[in-house]
Structure 1
């Protein structure tokens, strides 16, 4: 039995090997035939594949060109989002027809690079903080608009490559002198809904009929008065970046020696779950003041740190490098840089919290203005600029425009002067 089993196994092995060798021989013959056919025949096989590939590419390119021409004939400007904005593929612009309600709305936006030939987009938006010189378009038409997008201050996110000089045609940043200003929020007239701020050419005309603190308070809605009377705590601050270049943490540490400051977030001992409306549930009903302290002192750099508290019945205390009169209504905030020391600021905040009529006057602006999101306005301005500006200009030194001498207060901070005050501003002059 064992002998029989052995010979059967040998036979199976021989059959398997024979099958393998036969297949190997057949494959070798086919390869040799194809080689000679390709080398000495009337045509070359590699040319066939090359031509097939070329035809497909030409057809694809022609199809994209036709789509681009169709948009041009309809007067539609096409915009490509080259990279992401902090991971958001739509730059937080939203989905669908984002230009639908704009005064000039003939624009389309894409985040797929190959929807059109890259040189056929009317404009390409590049988020500066996520842009690499190794990942840029390989083709470019001179009529295209390359738009530099950035919402971070140059003190924190400098332009890293000289490669980008003589590269961009338009700017879309938080700066008010951008071609397309994209601020964190805007202020509108309550009655008309018209845009008011932020603006270099500001007009707070709606609030000029202020008469006196007493009248302003007498006209205050009862709901706001009830909220103010229910407040019992002085100052609060939500912060997670504990080592900002503006020296804000050092300022608050000194301020805390003279007035109570409750710090929420990674840098403090208090917390508020992100699923809650922390401003509505915690800050507005309990606190008189919120610290709207920026992480750097740069021109026009005003973020949600100011705009968030302005939406609620709480008075923000600002600390930054902007001209705040261009961003928020008169008598709507307290500026820390109006005081020579944190101790002096603390004394003023205590006074306001004890004089409710004076404190309530800081909320009177809400009868005339409201805070709204700024992204829609920026999107509409983008479309408008692309239609109105016929020839692309060029930022020959974008790094100078964005960063050079744009954070002057910042340069005065050091190991000795760790934070800024009114004295810092006086020394600059």
Structure 2
């Protein structure tokens, strides 16, 4: 009898456990079904530059999102998307709706929208996608197609091959640039270099050579075309100076020569050494006091195969071509790069899905700060002979100061949470600029 009673108690306990499991499982199934039946999460692009009708429903992992540029959808939207290059100071959706997040995409330097680099502006956004490693959706290595592109020998020319071109000097340097007015003073620095070493310049800036006819049509939109890479790979050095010097702002100017097996002469991101394939992969302008000192080093490398090839271990070291663990980790974990041609892999589609996920899964009290787009107010430029200042640096400094004033003024308008027009914003901005009162504006 005791044994039967024990079996009975055990059976009752087992049934209770089973009932509990069924209850919780059914709750999850019901919740999952309810989630599936809900309307898609809505996001709205806030840009007058999107003149076409855009309204799509997209599957972002397990989440379904509706993305449009219809401003009439704003009350239903849980996120508002802004593209930095198209931001207009007098065009923001105010008053803000409490449940909405603001998301910013800006892969460029601050030259076209200088207000973005200021904390007073950034702190009003919950989600960012910029070149900074600290943004929510970092684009630091977006211009590097793949790790294989760095190690491949598709465009590699051995040292002896680069030295066999009798019509080129031993120290062969190429410059290919069509933006001739930059915050970094790029064109001024190259002019100084040209006094000490012959440079083949094929772009519209300081041009002294013409590209082969087959490359002249649209090279700016085909920066990684095989034909262009083969042509440039015959040089030993390539000037790689960014248009602005911001931490983690790295463009094709750095990655392209590395892909070809050409040594970059680099100036730009102060954090660049965090991202090079090995401890010695490029020549950095900041390591030299002036252009003349740099050229002496170029001449030394150009005449010594062992020294020259020590910069190309990502091509020559078959066992360990990339030793930078930070770069290797990024290549595995990054969410976007230009080499991805799969469906839904465009920058804007990736950004939209990242914001959709963020809206659903992340608390909205987390906001951006200056690290999300960390560009200095004072333009940083490459050092010239005799401590000269690049020709246009004063204009760029003024532009950044105007951007700072814009950001402070927007901060005040955002805090008031009332709509305003372009005319109202411009009038107040001009008043403060004329009174030189930007730095004294209220932050309360």
Q: CA deviation at 1:236?
A: 0.7
Q: In the aligned structure 1, how far is the partner of 2:68 from the partner of 2:338? A: 23
- Secondary structure, in 3 states, of the residue corresponding to 1:253? helix
Q: In the aligned structure 2, how far is the partner of 1:414 from the partner of 1:88? A: 48
Give the counterpart of 1:418 among 382, 389, 406.
Answer: 389
Q: Which residue of 2 aligns with 1:311?
A: 259
Conservation of the 8 A alpha-carbon contact between 2:43 and 2:66: yes
CA deviations on 1:281-328 (whole Å, 9 max, x unpaired) are 4211x2111111012222222222212223222121111132112222
Q: Which residue of 2 aligns with 1:349?
A: 298
Q: CA deviation at 1:166?
A: 5.7
Q: Give structure 2 stretches of 5+ with no counterpart.
A: 1-33, 220-224, 323-327, 332-336, 391-444
Q: In the aligned structure 2, how far is the partner of 1:364 from the partner of 1:90? A: 49
Q: Quick one: structure 1 residues 266 and 81, their matched pair in 2 at CA, closer, same or farther if it must change by over 3 Å?
A: same
CA deviations on 1:208-264 (whole Å, 9 max, x unpaired) are xxxxxxxxxxxx969835476245441111112222221221211111122111111
> RCO (CA 8 Å, sep 6+): is it higher in 1 or 2?
2
- Deviates most, 134-143 or 343-352: 134-143
Instruction: Confirm or deny that 1:79 pairs with 2:11.
Output: no
Q: In the aligned structure 2, how far is the partner of 1:411 from the partner of 1:256? A: 15
Q: In the aligned structure 1, how far is the partner of 2:235 from the partner of 2:256? A: 14
Q: CA deviation at 1:404?
A: 7.0
Q: Which residue of 2 aligns with 1:280?
A: 229
Conservation of the 8 A alpha-carbon contact between 1:296 and 1:320: yes
Q: Quick one: structure 1 residues 294 and 408, their matched pair in 2 at CA, closer, same or farther if it must change by over 3 Å?
A: same
After TM superposition, list the pairs within 5 Å mapping 1:367-386 onto structure 2.
Answer: 367=318, 368=321, 373=338, 376=345, 379=351, 381-386=354-359
Q: Which residue of 1 aligns with 2:441?
A: none
After TM superposition, list the pairs within 5 Å mapping 1:9-20 onto structure 2.
Answer: none
- Deviates most, 373-382 or 317-326: 373-382
Instruction: Confirm or deny that 1:167 pairs with 2:124.
Output: yes
Count of residue pairs brought into register by the alignment: 314
Conservation of the 8 A alpha-carbon contact between 1:120 and 1:141: no
Q: Quick one: structure 1 residues 235 and 163, their matched pair in 2 at CA, closer, same or farther if it must change by over 3 Å?
A: closer
Q: In the aligned structure 2, how far is the partner of 1:133 from the partner of 1:304? A: 30
Give the counterpart of 2:161 among 226, 229, 232.
Answer: 229
Instruction: Confirm or deny that 1:393 pairs with 2:358.
Output: no
Q: In the aligned structure 1, how far is the partner of 2:209 from the partner of 2:264? A: 19
- Secondary structure, in 3 states, of the residue corresponding to 2:174? strand
Q: Which residue of 1 aligns with 2:248?
A: 300
Larger radius of gyration: 1
Instruction: Confirm or deny that 1:148 pairs with 2:104.
Output: yes
What is the alpha-carbon root mean square deviation over aligned residues? 4.4
Conservation of the 8 A alpha-carbon contact between 1:173 and 1:180: yes
Q: CA deviation at 1:134?
A: 3.5
Q: Quick one: structure 1 residues 338 and 188, their matched pair in 2 at CA, closer, same or farther if it must change by over 3 Å?
A: same
Conservation of the 8 A alpha-carbon contact between 2:146 and 2:339: no
Give the counterpart of 2:134 among 157, 173, 177.
Answer: 177
Conservation of the 8 A alpha-carbon contact between 1:80 and 1:121: yes
Instruction: Confirm or deny that 1:128 pairs with 2:92.
Output: no
Q: Quick one: structure 1 residues 342 and 408, their matched pair in 2 at CA, closer, same or farther if it must change by over 3 Å?
A: same
Q: Which residue of 2 aligns with 1:30?
A: none
Q: In the aligned structure 2, how far is the partner of 1:221 from the partner of 1:401? A: 35
Q: Which residue of 1 aligns with 2:282?
A: 333
After TM superposition, list the pairs within 5 Å mapping 1:90-109 onto structure 2.
Answer: 104=61, 106-108=63-65
Q: In the aligned structure 1, how far is the partner of 2:385 from the partner of 2:294? A: 22
Q: In the aligned structure 2, how far is the partner of 1:327 from the partner of 1:73? A: 45
Q: In the aligned structure 2, how far is the partner of 1:75 from the partner of 1:385? A: 17
Q: In the aligned structure 1, how far is the partner of 2:276 from the partner of 2:373? A: 23
Q: In the aligned structure 2, how far is the partner of 1:245 from the partner of 1:112? A: 33
Q: Quick one: structure 1 residues 298 and 243, their matched pair in 2 at CA, closer, same or farther if it must change by over 3 Å?
A: same
- Deviates most, 272-281 or 161-170: 161-170
Q: Quick one: structure 1 residues 185 and 392, their matched pair in 2 at CA, closer, same or farther if it must change by over 3 Å?
A: farther
Q: TM-score, normalised by structure 2?
A: 0.58
Conservation of the 8 A alpha-carbon contact between 1:153 and 1:301: yes
CA deviations on 1:345-373 (whole Å, 9 max, x unpaired) are 11212222222233233222145459852
Q: TM-score, normalised by structure 1?
A: 0.59
CA deviations on 1:62-83 (whole Å, 9 max, x unpaired) are xxxxxxxx98745954433322
